[in-house]
Amino acid sequence: MFNSFKKLTESLTKTKDNIFGKISHVVSRRKIDDELLEEIEEILIEADVGFSATMRIIDTVKEKAREQRLSDGEEVIELLKQEITEILVQDEHPLFKPGDHKPVVWLIVGVNGVGKTTTIGKLATYFSTQEQKKAMIAACDTFRAAAVDQVVIWAERAKVDIIRSQEGADPASVAFDATQAATARGVDILLVDTAGRLHTKANLMEELKKIRRVVQKANPQAPVYTKLIIDGSTGQNAISQVKVFTDAVGCDGIIVTKLDGTAKGGVMIAVAQELGTQVDFIGLGEKVEDLQRFDAATFAEALVK
Amino acid sequence: MFDNLSEKLDSVFKRLSGKGILSEKNIKDAMREVRQALLEADVNYKVARDFVKSVQAKAVGQEVLRSIDPGQQVVKIVHDELVALLGGTTAELTPIDRSPTIYMVCGLQGSGKTTLTGKLALWGRRKNKKPMVVAADIYRPAAVKQLKVVADQIDVPHFHIEGKTPPEICAAAVKHAKTNFIDLVILDTAGRLHIDQELMEELTQIKSQVQPHEILLVADAMTGQDAVNVADEFHKRLDVTGVVLSKLDGDARGGAALSIRQVTGCPIKLASVGEKPSDLEPFHPDRLASRILGMGDVVTLVEKAQESIDEEQAAKMQDKIFKAQFNFEDFLDQMAQLKKMGPLENLLQMIPGMGKALKGMTVDEKDMERMVAIIKSMTIEERRRPQLIDGSRKRRIAAGSGNSVQAVNQLLKQFFAMQKMFNQMGKKKMKGLPPGFNPF
Ligand SMILES: Nc1nc2c(ncn2[C@@H]2O[C@H](COP(=O)(O)OP(=O)(O)OP(=O)(O)O)[C@@H](O)[C@H]2O)c(=O)[nH]1
Ligand SMILES: Nc1nc2c(ncn2[C@@H]2O[C@H](COP(=O)(O)OP(=O)(O)OP(=O)(O)O)[C@@H](O)[C@H]2O)c(=O)[nH]1
Ligand SMILES: [Mg+2]
Ligand SMILES: [Mg+2]
């Protein structure tokens, strides 16, 4: 836990002018007043929290500061942390439900280039090394150039089996075969790599629904979870992505990637506030081990440090 | 919630109709809305602040034109200013006139570089030039193979040397191009974080080895506030000559483009609008300005229509939409045409206010077929004048098309809502906006 905090904090404070170092900088030796709150507002918006979510957070903090008769600027940090953590964790959110049958199927979906395939490599590694589960991959992106070759390399890196077909094959049929194979081989978790698709393309969203149906058909007892991958540098469009993917194939959790850059992923706060969807993991690099369980308090802490 | 900035501003100004001049106070209120719209579109906080300040200075004291309402006037000022900042006119790529001309493509991971490399090659080939793509990404799994597949698809030579560093590969590629009569060399570099010192240094090395004529930064249209940091860092290191905005085929508002343009000052040259090699367009500042302000994009809609329908028909359709003479016969016609233009949602989203008018009307294929069946059960007269359709006609149409009366009712309701909306759009357009100003 300590390590994970360190890496996230390091990443989130890596910018040269250290945007998030700034809240602690801004509040020191200041009184809580409108001017201070406005500066905090700016910092939150620059972390992609978004206009409305930021306004709501600022209003709550203002209200709480008044109720608790706080005046010292430094005390705002604690309030902010609390508020952000509360928004991010709304209820118990286990990765699996008790009594889940084997194999559990994770449908990995998202818009183009966000890091689905890379995350699959990391997840396969995570499940086999950290949770002693038998993982397998289904190469269902049969569309993009060399997508199958790419995910095959990740399967090798993670040392797990992969079910594949040739480029141009029907992704649903690969998903069907993979689910059957996973069932037969006693796999604990099947990770399904799907082609990137913009949520605005109805025909491609239909294709995802079909993949989901077919998995269910191949093994009606297999629990299917949809995990949406969001690029950490995405702005307010993430809200639209979560909405539309949820409507089409459900969304049991989000994985935010590329947080090793200088983007803060603050839009997750707006997503949680508006849609109640929670984050499961964060991606922090391009190697198999660059994946961490999401911890709201750590995230909030890193954000307002 | 209001659908777009224009409506919001209308409501701000409603309170002050009759005053002949845009005062500091009412402009300030309006600018608050403008600022919020920009932030919601992912324009960087500081960029939005500076922008609002400069527009405010321009707007205060302007006389309210009699022919349009103040809200629209402010939208026009804001829109014009945005267009100016985004670059005014369409910027061109450095022409392919050397032997060879070299384009280098760079950017963050997953932004769309490899795809763009293919698109540029196809673009060059269509100009009767001989392009070659160079795989200089030795890190991402199967990156070389990816570019090879793309190159084969469009029948363009692909260059790579196993076991060499990216600067070595690029230098060798240019040498190879010179002796093989290649006109255009496009270097596909690996995705990298702008804070990765080592990999950023690699780009600097490539640049100094091959002296590219064009260095293109590919930026994802969905990027948020961080776009300023990324663009700033890439530009500082490389003196980027142009920006390509990718994934503009989605519903992102694309405010990052304004941020990038502001911090780098370099022109946005192209728009990447899909996964296919042909999905590349010139960048149109005016369209992006409308998009950032949340005002839809009728121009793109009409152009898209023109691709698949002939021009005359497209013009007629636009005319009909604006004059609200749109009836069920047109509806039927358009259904067939629309199918050719791709997913209906995409098109509908480009029409301002459409999202709201179509609430509850999910446009999947099955629904479309049902609508077509219902319309086909109407008489020609009914299709032309839907208001004729009374209770008994509804029952007949329902029975004829194998649907419930409810379904017929629903279609009619949606149709009238749409007609009303077109009507309003038409009026707005007629209301004497200056020529060349397209609020959508
Ligand atoms: N820095 C960094 N890069 C990442 C991370 N996750 C993925 N990437 C990189 O992002 C790029 C795209 O990753 P992919 O895994 O291919 O993304 P995808 O969503 O599968 O892409 P499509 O299948 O084409 O839609 C690659 O260059 C990855 O190495 C991360 O957490 N940090
Ligand atoms: N919808 C859409 N998808 C795009 C566009 N440009 C690229 N893509 C998709 O985005 C994903 C990433 O594209 P790539 O070209 O592999 O991106 P890249 O920048 O080369 O990625 P790295 O080399 O890993 O950094 C792929 O799924 C592409 O098909 C675009 O304009 N629209
Ligand atoms: Mg992939
Ligand atoms: Mg690439």
CA B180, CA B380: separation in Å to the nearest integer? Answer: 64
Residue A241 has pLDDT above 90, yes or no: yes
The reply to whether B339 touches chain A by the CB within 8 Å rule is no
Of B275, B278, B279, B280, which is best to mutate to test ligand 2, by the most ligand atoms within 8 angstroms of its C-beta?
B275
Q: Which of B193, B247, B344 sits opposite A260 (nearest CB)?
A: B193
Nearest residue in chain A measured CA to CA from B346: A200
Angle (CA) B424-B429-B430 rounded to 5° is: 95
- What lies within 8 Å, CB to CB, of A286 at 6+ separation is A118, B109, B139, B140
Q: In terms of domains, do B208 and B270 share one?
A: yes
Shortest-distance Cα residue to atom 12 of ligand 2? A113
B399 touches chain A (CB under 8 A): no
Would B206 be classed as within a structural domain? yes
Q: What was the pLDDT predicted at B383?
A: 87
**B323 and B377, same domain (yes or no):** yes
Q: Using a CB–CB cutoff of 8 Å, tell me whether A95 touches chain B.
A: no
CA distance, residue A87 to nearest chain B CA (Å): 20
Query: Residue-wise over B262-273: b if at least 16 C-beta within 10 A, else e?
Result: bbbebbbbbbbb
B119 close to A (CB below 8 A): no
CB contact under 8 A, B108 and A233: yes
Q: Do A48 and B149 touch (CB under 8 A)?
A: no
Helix (H, G, I), strand (E, B) or coil at B427: helix
Assign residue B196 the CATH number of its domain: 3.40.50.300
CA distance A238 to A271: 8
B111 CA: nearest ligand 2 atom: 19
**For residue B4, what pLDDT band results from cuts at 50, 70 and 90?**
low
**Based on the domain organization, do B241 and B385 belong to the same domain?**
no
The residue from B59, B86, B113 where one domain ends is B86
Q: How many domains does chain B have?
A: 3
Please give the residue range of the domain that contains residue B338.
298-430
| pLDDT computed for residue B128 by the predictor | 94
Q: Which of B86, B117, B132 is the last residue of a domain?
A: B86
pLDDT for A183 beyond 70: yes
List, as ranges, residues 274-333 from B with C-beta within 8 Å of A.
275
| 3-state per-residue secondary structure call for B334-385 | HHHHHHHHCCHHHHHHCCCCHHHHCCCCCCCHHHHHHHHHHHHCCCHHHHHC
Assess whether pLDDT exceeds 50 at residue B127. Answer: yes
Percentage of chain B beyond pLDDT 90 is 50
For residue B422, the model assigns a pLDDT of 66
Compute the average pLDDT of residues B211-235: 97
Q: Quote the mean pLDDT of chain B.
A: 82
Q: How far is the CA of B432 from the centre of ligand 2 (A)?
A: 42
B393 touches B408 (CB < 8 A): no
Rounded distance from Cα B199 to ligand 3 centre (Å): 23
Q: Coil, strand, or helix at residue B440?
A: coil
Contact across the interface for A113 and B109, Cβ inside 8 Å = yes
- CB contacts < 8 A, A to B, total 152
Interval between CA A108 and ligand 2 midpoint (Å) = 17
Assigned domain for B440 exists: no
- Is A202 within 8 Å of B364 when comparing Cβ atoms? yes
Q: State the pLDDT at residue A121.
A: 98
- Per-residue pLDDT at B360 exceeds 50: no
Instruction: Choose between B34 and B343: higher pLDDT.
Output: B34
Q: How confident is the model at residue B334 (pLDDT cuts 50, 70, 90)?
A: low
Q: Is residue B435 part of a domain?
A: no
B314 and B235 fall within a common domain: no
- The pLDDT of B212-223, averaged and rounded, is 98
User: How far is residue B82's CA from residue A106's CA, in Å, rounded to a whole number?
Assistant: 43
Most confident of A219-228, B49-58, B411-420: A219-228
Q: Which residue has the tokens 């160079």?
A: B134
Residue A147 has a pLDDT of: 97
pLDDT value at residue A213? 97
More confident residue, A26 or A58: A58
Which of A50, A200, A286 is nearest residue B251 as measured by Cβ atoms? A200
Q: How far is the CA of A168 from the centre of ligand 4 (A)?
A: 20
- For A1-24, the pLDDT digits (tens) are 334 445 555 554 443 344 444 677
Choose the closest CB to A146 out of B145, B195, B345: B145
CATH no. for residue B403? 1.10.260.30
The predicted pLDDT at position B410 comes to 86
A193 touches chain B (CB under 8 A): no
pLDDT, average across residues A212-224: 97
Model pLDDT, residue B299? 46
Which of A193-197, B261-265, B352-356 is most confident? Answer: A193-197
Least confident window among A190-199, B60-69, B144-153, B371-380: B60-69
pLDDT at B381: 85
ipTM: 0.92
pLDDT-derived band at B363 (thresholds 50, 70, 90) equals: low
pLDDT digits (tens, 9 = 90+) for A143-171: 999 999 999 999 999 999 999 998 889 99
- B91 part of a folded domain: no
Same domain membership, residue B303 and residue B285: no
- Show which of B53, B86, B119 is a domain's final residue: B86
B217 & B262 share domain: yes
**Nearest one of B170, B116, B122, B126 to B146, comparing CA atoms:** B116
- For residues B159 and B287, state if they share a domain: yes
Let me know if residue B410 belongs to a domain: yes
Mean pLDDT (whole number) for A59-69: 94
Mean pLDDT check: name the lowest of B276-285, B346-355, B390-399: B346-355
Question: Residue A216: its pLDDT value, please?
Answer: 97
Q: Which residues line ligand 2 (CB under 6 A)?
A: A 112-113, 144, 196, 198; B 107, 109-115, 137, 140, 143, 190-191, 246-247, 249, 272-275, 279
Judge whether B95 lies within some domain.
no
Determine the pLDDT at residue A285: 97
Residues 151-180 of A with CB under 8 A from B: 152-154, 167
- The phi-psi region of residue A6 (left if phi > 0; otherwise alpha if psi is between -120 and 50; otherwise beta) is alpha
Please tell me which residue of chain B has the smallest CA distance to A231. Answer: B223
Asked, for residue B93, whether it belongs to a domain, the answer is no
Single-letter amino acid, residue B22: L
What pLDDT is recorded for position B251? 92
More confident residue, B61 or A19: B61
Q: In this complex, is the C-beta atom of A234 within 8 Å of any C-beta atom belonging to chain B?
A: yes
pLDDT of B175 above 50: yes
Query: How much distance in Å is there from the Cα of A283 to the middle of ligand 1?
Result: 10
Domains (ranges, CATH) in chain A? Answer: 2-88 (1.20.120.140), 104-294 (3.40.50.300)
Pocket probe for ligand 1: among A10, A12, A114, A118, the residue whose CB has the most ligand atoms within 8 Å is: A118
Q: Which residues of B touch A234 (CB under 8 A)?
A: 220, 222-224
Asked if A234 lies within 8 A of B222 by C-beta distance, the reply is: yes
Q: Are residues B62 and B128 in the same domain?
A: no
In short, whether A258's Cβ falls inside 6 Å of ligand 1 is yes
Average pLDDT over residues B291-311: 58
Q: Smallest CA–CA separation between A98 and chain B, in Å?
A: 36
Chain A partners within 8 Å of B142 (Cβ): 146-147, 149-150, 152-153
Asked whether the predicted pLDDT for residue B298 surpasses 60, the reply is no
Give the model's pLDDT for residue A15. 39
Whether residues A200 and B153 touch (CB distance < 8 A) is answered with no
**A233 → closest Cβ in B223, B249, B343:** B223
* Residues B382 and B286 both lie in one domain: no
Inside any domain, residue B92: no
Non-local CB neighbours of A265 within 8 Å, separated by 6+ positions: A47, A48, A230, A232, A256, A259, A282, A299
Q: How much is the pLDDT for B76?
A: 80
Distance from CA of B40 to the nearest CA of A (A): 6
- B77-81's contacts with Cβ under 8 Å and 24+ in sequence apart are B78/B5, B78/B34, B78/B293, B79/B286, B79/B289, B79/B290, B79/B293, B79/B437, B79/B439, B80/B437, B81/B51, B81/B54, B81/B55
The answer to which of A133-137, B35-39, B74-78 has the lowest mean pLDDT is: B74-78
Same domain, B422 and B385: yes
Whose CA is closest to A45, among A267, A276, A260, A268? A267
Does residue A115 have its Cβ closer than 6 Å to ligand 1?
Answer: yes
Residues B33 and B109 in one domain: no
Do the chains contact at B226 and A233, CB–CB below 8 Å?
yes
The answer on B33 and B176 residing in a single domain is no
- pLDDT exceeds cutoff 90 at A178: yes
Q: Which range (A36-40, B55-59, B167-171, B173-177) has the least confidence?
A: B55-59
List, for residues B381-413, the tens digit of each pLDDT value.
888 888 889 889 999 999 888 888 988 998 888
Pocket test for ligand 1, best of B109, B198, B249, B276 (most atoms within 8 A of CB): B109
Name the residue in chain A with its Cα closest to that of B255: A235
Q: Return the ligand 2 atom nearest residue B143 CA.
A: 23
Q: How many CA atoms lie within 13 A of A45 on its CB side?
A: 25
Look at residue B326 and tell me whether its pLDDT is greater than 80: no
The pLDDT assigned to A25 comes to: 75
